[in-house]
Amino acid sequence: MFAVLLFSLVVFTAGAAARCPLGFVNLGRSCYLFASTTVDFAGANSFCQFFGSRLVTISSSHEDHLIRSYLLRHGKGATYYIGGTDLRGEGIFTWERPHGKKLGYTGWKHGEPNNAKGHEHCMSMPASFHYRWNDVPCSRRYRFICERAH
């Protein structure tokens, strides 16, 4: 009897841990929303907060791989904003969450960030770069990725 209870508890707990709010998908330890509406960076930031989340922070090659694999299958050939900018200091990219944290792991495409034409201060993952990171103008309308805990 005790074994059955313990088994149920483990299964229930594992099931609960994998559940994400409607619209979010579970990859690794977080829930992600791959939004298909296109907005500028500030809009993406607001949308994620409205959905009880934040623009995604990618802190390891493992997390980057999970997200890129998902996008390669379901990304629809689009570009997605992720949660970093260098708006507080040219060339010094920081995450929105925790706010102002410098990048540790980075997944830039070779040659990026290049601040093309001097106007690229927001981070994105473009299908044309196989979803490796690129800095782009924050005024462009792109899809975006939000992240939240379970």
In the complex, the residues that contact ligand MAN under the rule CB under 6 A are 112, 114, 116, 120, 134, 136
Residue closest to 57 by CA, chosen among 4, 109, 104, 3: 104
Residue nearer to ligand MAN on the CB measure, 24 or 131:
131
HSE (side-chain half, CA atoms, 13 Å) at 25: 10
- Distance separating alpha carbons of residues 145 and 137, to the nearest angstrom: 17
Cis before 113 (ω within 30): yes
Among 93, 122, 134, 146, binds Ca ion (CB under 5 A): 134
Size of the site for Ca ion (CB under 5 A): 6
Shortest distance, CB of residue 21 to ligand MAN, whole angstroms?
Answer: 32
Cis before 126 (ω within 30): no
> Taking CB within 5 to 8 Å according to partner kind, which of ligand MAN, Ca ion, none is near residue 30?
none
Shortest distance, CB of residue 146 to ligand MAN, whole angstroms?
Answer: 22
Shortest distance, CB of residue 106 to Ca ion, whole angstroms?
Answer: 13
SS3 16: helix
Among 26, 49, 60, 114, binds Ca ion (CB under 5 A): 114
